[in-house]
Amino acid sequence: MESYITDLFKYLDTYEKNYARFDTEAFFQTYNGICAVFQALREQRDKAVQVDQFFLRKIKQAPLNSSDLRQLCIQILITYFESEADTDGQSNQAYLYCRGLRAAKQDVPFFEHNLIPLLFRDGALNNNYELNAFLLSEIGRYINKFGRSINSALPPEDFDRMETPLKFLELSRRRLVLGEDLMRDHGSLEFHLQRVRAFDKLAKSSKLVEFYLTRWQYLARTSFWSKVAAFFGELGGKAKGVLSNWRYFRLVMTQRNPAYFLYSLLIILFILLAIYVPMKWNSYTETRLERFEKRAITTQQPGGR
């Protein structure tokens, strides 16, 4: 266990001193390896106290605010440790030390109003979006387990009033609890927000926001040809409505823009026909000529008729 913790702090040092050598995947594996033994330490009280003291010594070696990753990682990890491993108040010294450095002493308010906004600052975590998503998920997982339950029927109006960082915490928590296929549920908050294009508007606020919405497939992306087809489909529907009634058609034609559009469309149509018809006629003529030549060659060959 101590070797994993030592490796974790080495990754934090590398992140701060030589980010180009920081290995994101190795960091994830080390972090998850540490968390995996927290539940077992509930029954191993002497070991839990030993790990707690080792954590405390490592944490005190550098200021928690020396980097965004150090602050986020240590505050989240040590809070998990205290919540899952400490059952008798004997292995919480590292947690008490970290909590003493917080602006808010309670865990969930501190996560929501201090750590989550830290994730969404410009250039947070050196724009390492995978690292950002991992830590957002860890905060969401903690609040789901030790904080309040999500509101599965959250009204869109309440969601809209949230600050952007809290919106993404809420979306992340919902995915952890309700699953990742919320777009298939036509009654879900996510489906409604996509239908009214709220996610498309939100994506314009920053690259990080766009990353999350793209990663979660919440953006209503359409191809260029789909947009073209939709445009002409809508145009065809309007034209059908105009042509279905002669009086309405004459009324529309008295307006300048529709009249210009119709005349322009007819001119374009005639130009296209003037190009298309000769091309098809030439193609037809060439085909007939090839068939005639083949028939002539066949007739000239011995045995031909």
Per-residue pLDDT reduced to its tens digit, 236-259: 555 555 555 555 556 555 655 666
d(CA 193, CA 198) in angstroms, rounded, equals 5
Which residues, in sequence order, are CB contacts of 106 under 8 Å at separation 6+? Answer: none
Residue 151 region by backbone torsions, left for phi larger than 0, else alpha for psi between -120 and 50, else beta:
beta
As given in the structure block, the two tokens for residue 13 are 């040092």
Cα–Cα distance between 239 and 133 in angstroms, integer? 48
Q: How many CB atoms lie within 10 A of CB 71?
A: 20
Confidence of residue 11 (pLDDT cuts 50, 70, 90): very high
Nearest Cα to 137, choosing from 170, 107, 90, 160? Answer: 170
More confident residue, 267 or 216: 216
Once rounded to an integer, what is the mean pLDDT over residues 214-222?
A: 83
Of 99 and 267, which is predicted with more confidence? 99
Q: Which amino acid is at 83?
A: S
Angle at the Cα of 233 from the Cα atoms of 231 and 238, rounded to 5 degrees: 95
Q: How far is CA 284 from CA 103, 269, 276, 281, 298, in A?
A: 83, 22, 12, 5, 21
What are the distances in angstroms from CA 173 to CA 143, 176, 256? 8, 5, 54
pTM strictly above 0.85: no
Half-sphere exposure of 289 (CA within 13 A, CB side): 6
pLDDT at position 277: 78
**E strand or H helix at 16, and its extent?**
helix 2-17
The pLDDT assigned to 226 comes to 44
Q: What b-and-e string marks burial along 214-233, b requiring 16 or more CB atoms within 10 Å of the CB?
A: eebebbeeeeeeeeeeeeee
Residue 9: closest CA among 25, 41, 32, 31: 31
CA 238 to chain centre: 36
Residue position matching structure tokens 């003493």: 100
CA distance 253 to 267: 16
Q: Which helix (H) or strand (E) holds 37?
A: none
Copy the structure tokens of residue 263.
């005349």
Task: Work out the average pLDDT over 284-297.
Answer: 71
pLDDT at position 253 is 56
pLDDT for the residue 283: 75
Q: Which of 50, 98, 52 is nearest to 73 (CA)?
A: 98
Instruction: Tell me what pLDDT residue 227 has.
Output: 47
